[in-house]
Structure 1
Amino acid sequence: MTITIAANSAQPLTVHRLGYGTMRLTGPDIWGEPANRAEALQILRTAVEAGVNFLDTADYYGEDVTNRLIAEALHPYPAGLVLCTKVGATRRPDKSWVPYNRPENLRASIDHNLRTLRREQIQLVHLRLMGHGPVPLDEQLEAMFELQREGKILHVGLSNVTRAELEAGLRLGPIATVENMYSYAQRTTVQLPHGANPGGEEVLDLCEQHGIPLIPFFSLLHALPKADSRIAELARKYQATEAQINLAWLLHKSPWILPIPGTSQLAHLRENLRAASLRLSPEDMAYLG
């Protein structure tokens, strides 16, 4: 199964429909070095060897831990590997998440990502929105499109966006992808300590209409209601794990969904990758809702 990013552009990117999100490779609270650095490097190499050709990262993971791990494990990069990073946020020493979205901040972030990832151009960059602040969306996006015109970014995406923000972004320029929180258990907006995270369900139909891949983060969120045993029942039916059924649900929900499940354990990576081979029936999908 593959999906094409920016299909109508001069330089589309076709990737397999199960990527890998690197956030979990960091230490506790998405901060600091991994507990097992050798395993973290092996996870990256194993994912690519298994056919994963879409990696999601950000320079504020760690800080800057996942970018450095990717470069150490995989550079020089194999042909066809797509690296996707995010800008618009940064971390404070107290581990809080704060906006870093003025035009000069976005430029500094892109230049930093280019250095640490050892690339002359980043194929896909998500502008992560951090709530309503002093910098309007159009000012942030214009800075991103300027970096795109300079050749530092190939494609621009949006992350953590409401439906209204995505509609506004589409009026401002070509939006290649959307990255929002989305899982079987969490489909709509959820409040987290650092702010609201809009859900994928709120923008999925708009993404489908415009041919924009939706990339779910926290796709293995297991906040399932105790009374809801449907995932567990299907896991037993297919001799699979609940995590695998959750990923299979995303893959069957829409051909425009590109899951990027993350993990810090090699065994879980291999388990997640096997989800791509599960085939849920229309009756299964109707049962899950």
Structure 2
Amino acid sequence: MSTITIAQHSAQPLTVSRLGYGTMRLTGPEIWGEPADRPQALEILKIAVASGVNFIDTADYYGEDVTNRLIAEALYPYPADLVICTKVGATRRPDKSWVPFNTPENLRTSIENNLRTLQQEQVQLVHLRLIGHGGVPFEEQLGAMFEMQREGKIQHVGLSNVSRADLEAGLKMGEIATVENMYGHGQRTTINLGHGDSQGGEEVLDLCEQHGIPLIPYFSLVNSLPKADSQIAEIAKKYGASEAQINLAWLLHKSPWILPIPGTSSLAHLRENLKAAEIQLTAENMAFLG
């Protein structure tokens, strides 16, 4: 697998393999509760890392707190090269709705919770996730993140679900290590998924490239939004691969600054996703895919 460097201009850059793993699917239905098959969830984490994955994406509101506890149970003490990335700025209600949790006090509570459940003294990378601004100015939220970075609780600060204007504003305040937005071949721009807008990666990719900021796509395998992706299906047929594999291969070929984090609760699908890194799309394939 090729590699990508996070916070390359900082004193503590992090180099990881260009195919990570997103843990959201390890939870129960609707991203709530314990996994249906806990032993398999733990095995997925172990095999992912054993297969060369050293970037894992999580959040304390997955479950809630389910994925963090699974990561610690499966992988602690952590390998020296493993980067665990978490998110703050949101929480879940008992009705499973997603709501902002983004005052400076909220953000500090979330960071302390992540440190506790992940059994870390410092979180290597934290995304400030925007679910609306919830009445709290963006600058106040991000300022609180940089304050905790100065305190040593956070090593690197990233942004998630941000517009181009948000990213431009963030870059004026300090170093933004990474951006995590919705992005895949079938869904590249902003869309409303029912709990607010999910910002698209296409709108910030060129800005990320200019500043050497890895773009981390979430929901990268949602090919059915807004419609079936016939172009991906055609290339998949030519390669004898799955549509998910071609979508991941397209992301890897689209830009050297993209770091996909496909998630799954199936060991078979994990192995399938990892094989996507071996697919070499031609210039003709990429032109056809757009």
- Secondary structure at 2:49's aligned position in 1? helix
TM-score (norm 2): 0.98
C-alpha deviation, 1:229, in angstroms: 2.2
Structure 1: gaps of 5 or more residues: none
Q: Which residue of 2 aligns with 1:160?
A: 161
SS across alignment from 1:43: helix
Determine the C-alpha separation between the residues in 1 that align with 2:197 and 2:148: 28
- What CA distance in whole angstroms lies between the structure 1 residues aligned with 2:228 and 2:77? 49
Per-residue deviation, residues 174-210 of structure 1 (Å, max 9, x unmatched)? 1000000000100000001110011000000000000
Query: Paired residue for 1:65?
Result: 66
Task: Describe the shift of the 1:242–1:110 C-alpha distance in structure 2 as closer, same or farther (beyond 3 A).
Answer: same
Q: Is the 8 A contact 2:27 2:66 kept in 1?
A: yes
- Report what 2:103 is aligned to: 102
Q: Give, in whole Å, the separation in 1 of the partners of 2:242 and 2:96.
A: 33
Tell me: CA distance 1:228–1:155, structure 2 relative to 1, closer, same or farther (3 Å): closer
Q: C-alpha displacement at 1:133, in angstroms?
A: 2.4
* Structure 2 residue identity aligned to 1:165: D
Give the alignment of 1:233-244 within 5 angstroms.
Answer: 233-244=234-245
| Superimposed CA distance per residue, residues 53-91 of structure 1 (whole angstroms, 9 cap, x where no aligned partner) | 000000000000000000000000011000000000000
Distance 2:98 2:226 in 1: 28
User: Once the two structures are aligned, what percentage of the paired residues are identical?
Assistant: 78
User: How far apart, CA to CA, are the structure 1 residues paired with 2:289 and 2:82?
Assistant: 33
1:212 alignment counterpart: 213
The verdict on how the C-alpha distance between 1:110 and 1:226 changes in structure 2, with shifts beyond 3 A counting, is closer
Alignment partner of 1:173 is 2:174: yes
What's the counterpart of residue 288 of structure 2?
287
User: CA separation in 1, counterparts of 2:103 and 2:288?
Assistant: 46
Q: What do you get for the CA RMSD once the two structures are aligned?
A: 1.0
- The answer (yes or no) to whether the contact 2:186–2:229 under 8 Å persists in 1 is no
TM-score by length of 1: 0.99
Instruction: Describe the shift of the 1:225–1:26 C-alpha distance in structure 2 as closer, same or farther (beyond 3 A).
Output: closer
Q: Any residues of structure 2 matched to 1:24-39 within 5 Å, and which?
A: 24-39=25-40
Q: Which residue of 2 aligns with 1:47?
A: 48
- Structure 1 residues 227, 84: closer, same or farther in 2, change over 3 A? closer
- Structure 1: how far apart are the matches of 2:270 and 2:133? 36
* Alpha-carbon shift at residue 227 of structure 1 (Å): 7.1
- SS in structure 1 opposite 2:209? helix
Quickly say closer, same or farther: Cα 1:279–1:102, change in 2 above 3 A: same
In structure 2, relative to structure 1, the CA distance for the partners of 1:224 and 1:189 (3 Å cut) is closer
| Equivalent-residue separation in structure 1 for 2:281 and 2:103 (angstroms) | 45
How far off its partner does 1:111 sit? 0.5
Structure 2 match to 1:246: 247
The match for 1:17 is 18
Task: Please tell me the residue identity of whatever aligns with 1:95.
Answer: K
The whole-number CA distance in structure 1 between the counterparts of 2:241 and 2:224 is: 18
